[in-house]
Structure 1
């Protein structure tokens, strides 16, 4: 009996030691990677391989970069290339790598009161939206999507007037829900729209403009600025996300059979071929 108790205690101790050895990696990221279900699909494989637990903070790109700048996270996954380059140039982030891409699209009510459906020119569509009768719902949260949207308005030199322009200050999923409820238009990443399309009833209006290209990058928080960050864990996540295994997992993420993200890391592309 005593020997059995000792064995039970030893086994419990080993389990406890194994649990305590699990590293925590703090990741700030955009709402699109979270709302789409991509991270829930990807991270378990990485966590099992590295005995890690990734704590995800899902916010807009601006806030995600700010969390890294403040040393509140170890690594960030975002989609606003000019802001990312500035972040790295200022020394807040290191080891930036391309991960994947998709595209932005304009969506709106099926009745299309502004008459933009089927267009391939996002600026022409935005001019019509500025003059049209329906409301436009903006993220208004300094996210990558919000930054891109405001760049379009700047290029066309106008935007919807007064109450026709709604700055929501919300994540992409919530903005899509709002647009669906009030019959408005919005700019969205294709991945989040794919998840919310059925529940919002919004229709795809404009796609295919090269100006709507949407690349994602992953960046480690600079340990020289914040010595307390888990730089080792950040590097492990970066290396895995951009490895043939990680890139293949991204390509295989196809809810309802539709590919929402396309791998873009410089890796052995043969690993992404079907059946591998």
Structure 2
């Protein structure tokens, strides 16, 4: 993995809101517009919203264009379903196969790379499954399964959960066979999943930023990182008006273009949490890194 990934964020907010609270915020964002207000609805992930990225980016975009952006912050799977229902104008999520399928099925016009960071595996400080010496991420997950050390899974169809499932498949382990035993599917957000991992002396897959901003680490630490399989790519898609005629396609495309062109890419690169870069732009307007 590119060396720059290893420098990803030194902190976020202390804990992300649980998914149910985030859902409530999302519903609030869909309240009736003020008379004459020009806005689009963006379905995106909790990591992009609760990290503060949107609070930083969106005022810049609105000041430039006059277009307000209302964010519905949910897991990637739910954001995809919102798009399939035509209940958003644009989505920004992080599971490329689902994004590409959304476009192939006619719900999205085109998918664009926007930015990236990475996933990490956290666990007890004594690392009972020996992940620190794993050959790769698949081997790390195989060691967890063969040791039957507890693992807490978000189990919520989020981008993180989808990445976790891919890692289990690569490991040759079927954790579903141990559901309710060492494998605990919580149906919860990242903060709640990490809380459970600490309480249970369990392993968990997390995006790096959430972990670094997490206040309840206890004796847990990062036990595996750096494999290219842990790369975490974000993409933006404007919903296709051919299937959903009410979509505000022009304003949504203006937003997508701004994100991937030089001004938006520079704004993403400039976003800092406690002095550290949280997301790394790689859209068409991203600076070239040699």
Give the TM-score normalised by structure 1. Answer: 0.85
- Give the Cα separation in 1 of the matches to 2:85 and 2:42: 13
Matched, 1:64 2:82: no
CA deviations on 1:10-40 (whole Å, 9 max, x unpaired) are xxxxxxxxx6333121111112212322222
Q: 1:268 and 1:207 mapped to 2: Cα distance?
A: 25
Match of 2:197 among 170, 179, 194: 179
Match of 1:243 in 2: 261
Query: 2:211 matched to 1:200?
Result: no
Q: What is the CA–CA distance in structure 2 between the aligned matches of 1:178 and 1:52, rounded to whole Å?
A: 40
CA RMSD of aligned residues (A): 1.9
- Counting matched residue pairs gives 252
* Equivalent-residue separation in structure 1 for 2:199 and 2:268 (angstroms): 31
Q: In the alignment, is residue 263 of structure 1 matched against residue 281 of structure 2?
A: yes
Aligned partners of 2:59, 2:286: CA distance in 1, in Å? 23
Given the alignment, which residue of 100, 115, 126 partners 1:85? 100
Task: Tell me the distance in 2 between the aligned counterparts of 1:36 and 1:174.
Answer: 16
Deviation at 1:132, TM superposition (A): 2.5
**Higher percent of residues as helix:** 1
Secondary structure (helix, strand or coil) at the match of 1:199 reads coil
Q: Does 1:117 align with 2:124?
A: no
- Equivalent residue number for residue 270 of structure 2: 252
Contact 1:126–1:152 (8 Å) recurs in 2: yes
Structure 1 segments, 4+ long, off by >6 Å, are: none
1:15 aligns with none
Which piece of structure 1 moves more, 84-93 or 174-183?
A: 174-183
User: Partners in 2 of 1:120 and 1:192 — Cα distance?
Assistant: 25
CA distance in 2, matches of 1:118, 1:107: 14
C-alpha distance in 1, partners of 2:60/2:198?
35
For residues 286 and 73 of structure 2, the distance between their equivalents in structure 1, rounded to whole angstroms, comes to: 30
Contact 2:95–2:233 at 8 Å: present in 1 too?
yes
**Residue 216 of structure 1 aligns with which residue?**
234
Partners of 1:137 and 1:166 within 8 A in 2:
yes
Q: TM-score, normalised by structure 2?
A: 0.81
What residue is the counterpart of 2:35 in the other structure?
Answer: 20
Partner of 1:233: 251
- Higher alpha-carbon Rg: 1
Higher relative contact order (CA 8 A, sep 6+): 2
The alignment status of 1:188 with 2:203, answered yes or no, reads: no
